[in-house]
Structure 1
């Protein structure tokens, strides 16, 4: 079996590293695009819109709420910014009791 020239080995390593970086960078995009949304947020119990549950859907109103402090585990300290669907009035997104606001 012929010996591989050292330059070829370094070129091969660079190619493998570039391919690995490409695969790693494309996984989150494909994972997010394939997210179904049938997961509930562990803090609120509401349906997650994004894979990391940083955007959730308020039940019975279809308001989308973004967590302003997404790592918070306490409901009373969780801060949400909610927007209603276009067809509903602005007050349709009032947070229920117990939320931090």
Structure 2
């Protein structure tokens, strides 16, 4: 985890699936509690399902309620695909950035 001027950037390389959301939820919520701006690098996420998408939506909402900003700064193809499938690009408000292979 990289921290600079109240910005926390965290990279994930785990799957965001129903099998992992219980483990990821406290990690993400703790990250939101630590900074004013949270940047999530999801370029290493190989698999994501609707449970993972719901978790990201929850964390984004919790950040907003706390007056903080959460941005996804890099998307894996799996993350981008799910965001596009559910038509959530505008809801998340982040440019869909796929890391170069």
Q: Is the pair's TM-score, using the shorter chain for normalization, greater than 0.5?
A: no
Give the structure with higher Rg (CA). Answer: 1
Higher-helix-fraction structure: 2
Higher-strand-fraction structure: 2
TM-score by length of 2: 0.23
Higher relative contact order (CA 8 A, sep 6+): 2
